[in-house]
Chain A
Amino acid sequence: MSQTPTNPPAAKPAAGHGAKAAAPKLAVLTPEMQQLQQHFGEALITPAPFVGVLVNDKRRLVDVARYLRDELKYDSITNLTAVDYIKEGYFEVVYQVQRSTGGEPLTFKARVPRPQGNDLSEPLPSLTAVYAGADFQEREVYDMFGIPFEGHPDLRRILLWEGFYGWPLRKDWHEPYYEGDTKPFESRWPGGDHKLAEERVPWEDNVNYPPGFDPLSFVANPDAGLYDSMMHGVRVVQSDGSALTTQQNGTATAAAERNGGAATALDELQTDQIIVNMGPQHPSTHGVLRMVVKLDGETVTDLKLALGYLHRNHEKIGERNTWLHNIPYTDRLDYICGLANEWGYVLTVEKMMGIKPTERAEYLRVLMAELTRIQSHFWAIGFLLNDLGAFYTPALYFITERDLILDLFESVTGSRLMCNYFRFGGVARDLTEAQLAHAKELAFERIPRKIDELEALLTDNEIVRARTIGVGYLPADRSINYSLTGPCIRAAGVPYDIRRVDPYGIYDRFDFDIPVLYGADVYDRYRVRVMEMRQSLRIVQQCLKQMEDTRWGDIQAGKKAYNHRVPAGQAYGRVETPKGELGFYLVSDGGQNAYRYHVRSSSFINLNSLKEMVVGHKVADAVVILGSLDIVLGEVDR
């Protein structure tokens, strides 16, 4: 890279951020990283602070990625995010790639200088050609930081809308209700007179407009570009009768609007293609997801997703929260399985702090996380059947079972959904005798019986089989390239489960299998979920037995505290939630708050592959395929 010596970040790679005096320690290179360095030269690949390597010439990024994928067999991109180092004056984009056979992910980073004000930064090359799973993640980085990716097929804002003023995750961008960089806020104590947030902001609401903004003459187009690429190559009949093949830009949109939101295609078969919006208010989208489908008759020929209808600014709030504050927020990510999310976050922070939970706490974590998996799969299967048209009977049966598990959660943690149970170095409460008895009754009697019942109800049902076998097929290599995780990839024959490929907690003590099927369709995704429930049950049963040898009440390592300080550094921690791989990429500057708090959410990244699964199927199958991915919008949009 020509500017390597002059590029400020490269010139002082050891500057790091936040650490008052000492330069941050550089990463120790793994053998793979050394191989990468040997291949590309030591000028290009240098150790990055804390973890991973730095790619000094961003123009070579695609080559590096291709080498990693083809030679070093890092076949999927796990996590892609950016960090704004405002003091040092650059953005650092972090890529983490993963072998589907297992092991730690490899991290490489690239830097671009911070631009002035609201401008876009210098572009980075897009890795979508190498890793299809980078698609949504690059769009998210663009949306949040204003870093464009050259060569990205559809670079639009993903969680916010086109035209939004500013790039929210930049450190110098403040939201309307901004009160301070870090919590706790000073205004709360000791002179905390209650004041509504509306009362202290200029616009008297959670809004901010640029100076001179005129809403009456402003033309809003929040979906700009959404339909354009779907119009590509479609012949549109003009109002004067002449036909033209649309280009990939404005023409098509204008024509589409003229035709009431749909384009008319006249090909040899004389069929019309129409564009239909499903959602964000639609009974089958599992929340506020919007699918824009192009239909030829009833067959889906193209699909685009519009996300962000539940974008709750989890990461921006998380960077203001203290480390402890974030635990209850993670419950609200994937709100079906809060306990599993908490584990991911707590695990990552514990990694940075270098502490370990007590023996008893480890067992309690496994117990709760596996019960969460069972109830989440009950829910997922119930609603998959809802999508198939088996209206409510399966869902109601399984919600009843789920309620019994939630009863246990409520009596132990205090809440049905938002459990807030994990703490750094332990858990909040131990189980009483009565609660243990309830758990045992569930694990040894009730749930095994109910899973058998579930299978009797559904597995051999001819209608279920006819509707699901062969539907939503995505072969293993494509699934890996799309960074698919969770039951979906295991239904495609890839035994990728974080509990085995990158073990955490005490899963090595239990005897359980990773169920794998090879159909890669909706039916096998359903069956993998059922098999996983049985395996989870095995873990819970062993856990309840082994737990008896640990000391009751010994649930917190060290002293319970609320003002944790996490040593400066970076870490990526991940767990296997019922939806797939949930990762947290955290950066600490040694203070009480996270400097960067990024959630690698499985539902969001799994959605990358939806288009390839759906195209070619009927629109009714699109609903089922979406159901088989089992997304939760809280986690998709964060």
Chain B
Amino acid sequence: MSLMGIGILKGLGVTLRHFIDTYAEDLKYILNKSGVQQPRPLRRQSPKNRGLVTVEYPKERLPLPENFRYIPFLVKDTQTNDDKCTSCGICAKVCPPQCIWIVRTEDPVTKRPVPQPKQFYIDTTICMNCGYCAEFCPFDAIKMDHNYELSYYPEEQPHKRLIHDKHILTKPDTYHAAIHPSDWQRELAEKAAEEEKKRAAAEAKAKAAANPAAAPSSTQPPASA
């Protein structure tokens, strides 16, 4: 350093530029003639922004990315009014802190398991929001929620602990579709493909039934062999 103080001045220049940039950004916003304005939180969080970055929660909110994950919820099929969950227990197995408890339904007569959860608990005070349950669920029955406003007073919850049971956890698939649009599209596409496959299989079967002579040889070659 040749001259004492140059370095400090250079640094002060940076802070000055930051100060001016905030006004420049606002001017740009005001003078924008195209009329199409991004919502303020989006504009402020864009990597192109040089001005202020503050998002005035709770008046305005940052848009949440689709992948965002908070406490999980169970999806209910609104068409059939059934839980999608079959209580297979995979989510309980992959849960790292073991915060999922599932009671499987038993048929009252045969005592055989019924693919329906009788009760489903998620201890949100243990859950680490890792998203494994949603990732490994083979039935798309459990998804990660976007609702992070879950603060509570101690007197609001028994044991002062927020434990979600099946009643709280269950949310309609329309909600799921709204917060996870592309995931929902994928589900629909998979469902359509499956139905198509089923239809094709049924058609083939019908064809085979119409033509019984060909059926045994085509569907059961080992039996005839």
A residues near B, CB below 8 A?
Answer: 183-185, 187-196, 321, 324-329, 393, 397, 400, 403-404, 407, 410-415, 418, 420, 428-429, 438, 441-442, 445-446, 453, 456-465, 560, 562-563
B residues near A, CB below 8 A?
Answer: 1, 4-8, 10-11, 13-15, 18, 45, 47-48, 53, 65-69, 87, 89-90, 92-96, 98, 100-104, 113, 119, 121, 123, 128-132, 135-136, 144, 159, 161, 163, 165
Write out the residue numbers on chain A whose beta carbons fall within 8 Å of the beta carbon of B100: 188-189, 192
Write out the residue numbers on chain B whose beta carbons fall within 8 Å of the beta carbon of A441: 47-48
CA distance A551 to B24 in the complex (A): 42
Write out the residue numbers on chain A whose beta carbons fall within 8 Å of the beta carbon of B104: 189-191
Closest CB in chain A relative to B77 CB, distance in Å: 22
Known A191-B103, A400-B53; judge A415-B68 contact (CB<8 A).
yes
Q: Does A328 contact B47, Cβ atoms closer than 8 Å?
A: no
Query: Which listed residue, A189, A195, A412, A420, touches B102 by the CB 8 Å rule?
Result: A189
Query: Which listed residue, B4, B93, B144, B163, touches A414 by the CB 8 Å rule?
Result: B144
**Residue among B11, B65, B113, B121 with max Cβ neighbours from chain A (10 Å):** B11
Instruction: For A404, give the chain B residue with the smallest CB separation.
Output: B47
Query: Which listed residue, A184, A397, A463, touches B8 by the CB 8 Å rule?
Result: A463
Query: Which listed residue, A183, A192, A413, touches B67 by the CB 8 Å rule?
Result: A413
Q: Does B93 contact A184, Cβ atoms closer than 8 Å?
A: yes
**Residue among B1, B15, B98, B128 with max Cβ neighbours from chain A (10 Å):** B98
Write out the residue numbers on chain B whose beta carbons fall within 8 Å of the beta carbon of A413: 67
Q: Does A462 contact B1, Cβ atoms closer than 8 Å?
A: yes
Q: Does A410 contact B68, Cβ atoms closer than 8 Å?
A: yes
CA distance A413 to B130 in the complex (A): 10
Known A194-B163, A463-B8; judge A189-B92 contact (CB<8 A).
yes
Known A413-B67, A453-B14; judge A460-B6 contact (CB<8 A).
yes
**Residue among A187, A188, A189, A461 with max Cβ neighbours from chain B (10 Å):** A189
Query: Which listed residue, A400, A429, A453, A465, touches B1 by the CB 8 Å rule?
Result: A465
Report 8 cross-chain contacts, Cβ distance below 8 Å, ordered by A residue.
A189-B92, A193-B121, A324-B94, A325-B94, A414-B67, A429-B67, A562-B94, A563-B93
Q: Does B10 contact A562, Cβ atoms closer than 8 Å?
A: no
Instruction: For A196, give the chain B residue with the smallest CB separation.
Output: B159
Number of A-B contacts (CB under 8 A): 144
Closest CB in chain A relative to B131 CB, distance in Å: 6
Known A328-B132, A414-B67, A562-B90; judge A407-B45 contact (CB<8 A).
yes
Known A196-B159, A456-B13, A562-B93; judge A442-B53 contact (CB<8 A).
no
CA distance A552 to B96 in the complex (A): 29
Q: Does A190 contact B102, Cβ atoms closer than 8 Å?
A: yes
Closest CB in chain B relative to A597 CB, distance in Å: 13
CA distance A461 to B6 in the complex (A): 8
Q: Does A192 contact B121, Cβ atoms closer than 8 Å?
A: yes
Instruction: For B128, give the chain A residue with the smallest CB separation.
Output: A328
Closest CB in chain B relative to A440 CB, distance in Å: 9
Write out the residue numbers on chain B whose beta carbons fall within 8 Å of the beta carbon of A463: 8
Write out the residue numbers on chain B whose beta carbons fall within 8 Å of the beta carbon of A326: 96
Instruction: For A405, give the chain B residue with the smallest CB separation.
Output: B47
CA distance A562 to B91 in the complex (A): 10
Query: Which listed residue, B1, B119, B121, B129, touches A418 by the CB 8 Å rule?
Result: B129
Q: Does A190 contact B132, Cβ atoms closer than 8 Å?
A: no
Closest CB in chain A relative to B39 CB, distance in Å: 15
Q: Does A562 contact B136, Cβ atoms closer than 8 Å?
A: yes
CA distance A321 to B130 in the complex (A): 14
CA distance A570 to B91 in the complex (A): 29
Instruction: For B123, give the chain A residue with the smallest CB separation.
Output: A194
CA distance A79 to B146 in the complex (A): 41
Write out the residue numbers on chain A whose beta carbons fall within 8 Å of the beta carbon of B102: 188-190, 192
Write out the residue numbers on chain A whose beta carbons fall within 8 Å of the beta carbon of B121: 192-194
Q: Does B14 contact A192, Cβ atoms closer than 8 Å?
A: no
CA distance A453 to B50 in the complex (A): 13
Closest CB in chain A relative to B24 CB, distance in Å: 15
Q: Does A410 contact B53, Cβ atoms closer than 8 Å?
A: no
Instruction: For A399, give the chain B residue with the smallest CB separation.
Output: B53
Write out the residue numbers on chain B whose beta carbons fall within 8 Å of the beta carbon of A418: 128-130
Q: Does A458 contact B94, Cβ atoms closer than 8 Å?
A: no
Q: Does B14 contact A456, Cβ atoms closer than 8 Å?
A: yes
CA distance A183 to B68 in the complex (A): 27
Query: Which listed residue, A412, A445, A457, touches B47 by the CB 8 Å rule?
Result: A445
Write out the residue numbers on chain B whose beta carbons fall within 8 Å of the beta carbon of A453: 14
Write out the residue numbers on chain A whose beta carbons fall within 8 Å of the beta carbon of B48: 441, 445-446
Q: Does A184 contact B45, Cβ atoms closer than 8 Å?
A: no
CA distance A562 to B14 in the complex (A): 50
Instruction: For B163, give the chain A residue with the smallest CB separation.
Output: A194
Closest CB in chain A relative to B61 CB, distance in Å: 14
Closest CB in chain B relative to A338 CB, distance in Å: 11
Write out the residue numbers on chain B whose beta carbons fall within 8 Å of the beta carbon of A410: 65, 67-68
Q: Does B92 contact A188, Cβ atoms closer than 8 Å?
A: yes
Q: Does A193 contact B103, Cβ atoms closer than 8 Å?
A: yes
CA distance A559 to B210 in the complex (A): 40
